[in-house]
A and B are shown apart, each in its own frame.
Chain A
């Protein structure tokens, strides 16, 4: 059973500190959901776990089954079992979906092992059908010209093929219509087992109708400020974040509240300048 352990994680981009002490433990078989207003550090946390080169950890640890994740390259993290369905996946024209996933699967094998092409094609086609995607998907270029919803499904398709032990799904529900949400939700839910720990980053409760969560966390100001059960999420869905901010005595929930505020000021001034 996999265990991802995040301890007192601080991280910055350029000179801006975004994560300010995140603590979280995810075990195989568990599903965690992280919510939180815009700009509070949720995607940053996901990027730091995966190892995006722009983010730098200044303090704290991440371990996967005791191994130091922060010491690993991005690809080594993936091969160790981490998976991140990204909020905005890249487009890679010229590289087909099927070549990409094939290479990713091959990368998990030993040097002298070979991926069975026949089994691969069968599994890929099966996943395409289960996610109700277009049959020409294997031959289309990776996310190139995909609609928002198609990109999300394609992330889940890769997850199905790569079978991670810890998967982070960053807003997998946004941009999906009701039917697509159901398809994606059911596909993820079907993958649940003791061998998979899930972290869902979301703004809405409805995804949990398909993928029930055991733990719900709220992120503000670059850390987890409250943890609870689905009741917590239900209340936020119904009432918003104000009650929680009052309870926690938080005025501005964003990571860099003042920066953002001054940017808005600048924006207003600039507009006024333009009007003169």
Chain B
């Protein structure tokens, strides 16, 4: 059984900077140091189970926990030391048009968190996650999703973990026939970060997109790895890794598209775009295609380096300063994230986060 103890909560206070973001949002869950301190949903979410593991229906959670996961120390630790959890169940055919906002806030503890999202047949859900810490900590975050046939999940995640934090962000998704998942992960924090996403396309014609946008600065290091495994025919996977490495930071992208034998007419695509902004920064990209079948389409493109001098000259020849021109080009990376929310304070906040990472 998936239960865990809760560590004592210091207070239910929410930092001002986050309160500003929350105030204009509908459908909000706030988890602080493992405790769900805000659970504010419109009637659209009636029938959706959203609770911690201790209160969840264990027959439902069992459908996810029964799935095999890779043998990895951070995942084992997550199971053993769990102190924060969230379970979301969207029943059959329920299609939610409104976005569910989830705030993960650390105040005093070392967060060991697990989210499980169970999408029943033909259901759909959009989530917007915000990950934040207030004090020095280790942040072990795992998010697992099971998408039954024809269901759809779109998750946008914004991490702002500070340099006092070491973060491991693991996502594991399992898709049945015709299911579709869309992950958009934005790393804006200063934390030493390891983000690892594995998507398994188990059912025929399942589709996955993983779009990660990472900004590193100062002496930060971040490792981003995405695997999409095609275990059925006519499956489609797309990995997009975008990044800007500033100062003397180090950013690594590893993308793996794996198509097993017999999984004909599958598509595995990857695209990497990176800007090395800092004179001493490093950005590595390792796109990998592991393909054991002929009747497929696969490819990867990568463009990494300084901002193109010709582009800058062109833009400056219209009166933009070099700084402005660079900023416009870098801004283009975050447009897809901003498109996921119409909240004006969130837009302003994202602009500020970007500014802090790239000046």
Interface residues of A (CB under 8 A from B): 50-53, 73-75, 77-79, 83-84, 86, 89-95, 99-101, 103-105, 107-108, 141, 158, 162
Contact = CB atoms under 8 A, between A and B. Distances in A.
B313 A94 contact: no
Given A74-B316, A90-B310, A90-B314, A100 B324 contact: no
B317 A78 contact: yes
B76 interface: no
A78 B311 contact: no
11 contacts: A52-B313, A75-B320, A84-B317, A90-B310, A92-B311, A93-B332, A94-B332, A99-B328, A101-B318, A103-B324, A104-B320
A39 B93 CA distance: 67
Interface in B305-334: 308-311, 313-322, 324, 328-329, 331-333
A75 B321 contact: yes
B335 interface: yes
Contacts of A83: 317-318
Contacts of B320: 75, 100, 103-104, 107
Contacts of B328: 92, 95, 99-100, 103
A78 B316 contact: yes
Contacts of B319: 75, 78-79, 104-105, 107-108, 162
Contacts of A95: 315, 328-329, 331-332
A75 B316 contact: yes
Interface string B118-147: 000000000000000000000000000000
A75 B333 contact: no
Given A92-B328, A94-B329, A107-B324, 4 more contacts: A78-B319, A89-B314, A93-B332, A100-B328
**Dominant secondary structure at the A interface:** mixed
Contacts of A74: 313, 316-317
Nearest to A94: B332
B318 A104 contact: yes
A259 to B, nearest CB: 23
Which 8 A-B pairs give the minimum distances between C-beta atoms?
A: A94-B332, A90-B314, A78-B319, A104-B318, A74-B316, A75-B316, A107-B319, A79-B319
Nearest to A102: B328
**Dominant secondary structure at the B interface:** helix
Contact of B321 (A93, A99, A107): A107
Interface string B85-100: 0000000000000000
Given A90-B310, A90-B311, A103-B324, A50 B329 contact: no
Contact of B317 (A50, A94, A105, A108): A50
A100 B322 CA distance: 13
Interface residues of B, number: 21
Nearest to B322: A75
A77 B320 CA distance: 11
Contacts of A162: 318-319
Contacts of A100: 315, 318, 320, 328
A86 B314 contact: yes
Q: Which of A89, A92, A100, A162 has the most CB of B within 10 A?
A: A92
Nearest to B333: A94
Nearest to B336: A94
Contacts of B315: 90, 92, 95, 100, 104
A100 B319 CA distance: 10
A73 B320 CA distance: 11
Interface in B284-321: 308-311, 313-321
Contacts of B332: 93-95, 141
A269 to B, nearest CB: 32
A28 to B, nearest CB: 19
Contacts of A93: 332
Contacts of A141: 332
A83 B314 CA distance: 11
A152 B21 CA distance: 44
B339 to A, nearest CB: 12
Contacts of A53: 309, 313
A157 to B, nearest CB: 11
Contacts of A107: 319-321, 324
A75 B313 CA distance: 9
Contacts of B329: 92, 94-95
A128 B322 CA distance: 27
Contacts of B316: 73-75, 78
A103 B323 CA distance: 12
A171 B99 CA distance: 51
A54 to B, nearest CB: 8
A51 B318 CA distance: 12
Contacts of B311: 90-92
B30 to A, nearest CB: 33
A73 B317 CA distance: 9
Contacts of A84: 317
A162 B310 CA distance: 20
A243 B135 CA distance: 82
A158 B313 contact: no
Contacts of A90: 308, 310-311, 313-315
A158 B310 contact: no
Contacts of A89: 314
A42 B308 CA distance: 24
Contacts of B310: 90
Nearest to A85: B317
Nearest to B335: A94
Contacts of B313: 52-53, 74, 90
